[in-house]
């Protein structure tokens, strides 16, 4: 769901609705429990009782992300399931410079030079992909996509950013709280995962050359909840900030449903076509 409107009051209303969704998702995720619930606030957790070392980000996660997830695309279908025509940047608040660049999109040139321009995080996460999520180490989540065969690393203890890359530099943190009460008289952690990605190579927000610049910053809020049917859902609220090609931040909401195994995992390389 893309959210953009030129009417200020409507824009504020949409932002307020998204904020409520994020909070609601975090609450539902807490109801589902998770590994290490009640152990603190990830990388910022204080030293435990008896001088124990603080829990690792993996151990202090308020919910479980490990497994396979498939994108469920029920909105913006024509932008996300097929390649729109050149110049079709409806719903994205581009600057004039962004429109001018999008109007020059040449898929044949991309195929010759870099077919992965739409596979950076802002475009990749909106694609018809499956994700395989797991812990590379106790302080680093790894997110792989079969679409384009990309790998994102979400680091809770990030080092130096390094040179710009297609997937950029992602810093992760658990934003949690410990409400009073809880099962057995112990407080349970509630919250969501926040990631901030910078140092991305210039790429595309949409398959048809709608650009984001090297100065773009992607902020994501990840929530997991269990539906009454028992299905587990991952909801990611995504905010793209780009002072060069966007008039205002571009807010979207992405939905993934967990799959029981990797039997449908189908790695395919980058392509300028679907």
Q: Where are the domains of the chain?
A: 2-39+55-178+189-259
Q: What is the pLDDT of residue 60?
A: 94
Show the tokens assigned to 260. Answer: 């029981």
Whole-angstrom Cα distance, residue 46 to residue 42?
Answer: 9
Whole-angstrom Cα distance, residue 105 to residue 272?
Answer: 11
Going from the first residue of the chain to its last (274 residues), give the mean pLDDT of each consecutive group of 10, the final group possibly shorter. Answer: 38 40 39 36 43 86 97 89 92 97 96 97 97 98 98 95 97 82 52 97 97 98 97 98 98 97 98 83
Question: If you search the block for the tokens 């435990």, which residue do you land on?
Answer: 48
Whole-angstrom Cα distance, residue 195 to residue 174?
Answer: 9
Nearest alpha-carbon partner for 218 in 201, 241, 237: 241
Whole-angstrom Cα distance, residue 16 to residue 123?
Answer: 24
Q: Which residues contact 53 (CB under 8 A, 6 or more apart)?
A: 47
Q: What is the pLDDT of residue 11?
A: 40
Whole-angstrom Cα distance, residue 252 to residue 67?
Answer: 23
Q: What is the pLDDT of residue 77?
A: 83
């Amino acid at each position: 769901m893309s959210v953009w409107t030129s009417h200020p009051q409507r824009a504020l209303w949409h932002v307020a609705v998204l904020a409520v969704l994020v909070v609601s998702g975090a609450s539902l995720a807490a109801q589902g429990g998770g590994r290490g619930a009640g152990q603190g606030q990830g990388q910022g957790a204080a030293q435990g009782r008896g001088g124990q070392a603080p829990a690792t980000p993996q151990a202090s996660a308020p919910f479980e992300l490990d497994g396979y997830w498939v994108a469920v695309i029920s909105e913006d279908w024509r932008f996300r399931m097929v390649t729109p025509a050149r110049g079709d940047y409806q719903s994205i608040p581009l600057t004039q410079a962004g429109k001018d660049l999008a109007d020059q999109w040449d898929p044949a040139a991309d195929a010759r030079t870099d077919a992965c321009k739409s596979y950076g995080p802002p475009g990749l996460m909106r694609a018809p992909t499956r994700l395989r999520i797991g812990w590379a180490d106790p302080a680093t989540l790894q997110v792989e996509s079969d679409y384009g065969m990309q790998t994102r690393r979400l680091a809770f203890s990030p080092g130096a950013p390094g040179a710009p890359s297609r997937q950029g530099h992602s810093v992760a943190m658990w934003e949690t709280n410990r409400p009073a009460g809880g099962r057995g008289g112990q407080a349970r952690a509630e919250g969501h995962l926040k990631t901030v990605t910078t140092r991305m190579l210039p790429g595309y927000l949409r398959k048809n050359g709608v650009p984001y610049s090297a100065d773009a910053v992607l902020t994501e809020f990840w929530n997991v909840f269990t539906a009454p049917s028992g299905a587990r859902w991952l909801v990611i609220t995504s905010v793209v900030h780009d002072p060069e090609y966007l008039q205002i931040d571009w807010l979207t909401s992405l939905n993934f449903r967990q799959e029981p195994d990797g039997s449908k995992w189908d790695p395919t390389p980058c392509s300028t076509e679907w």
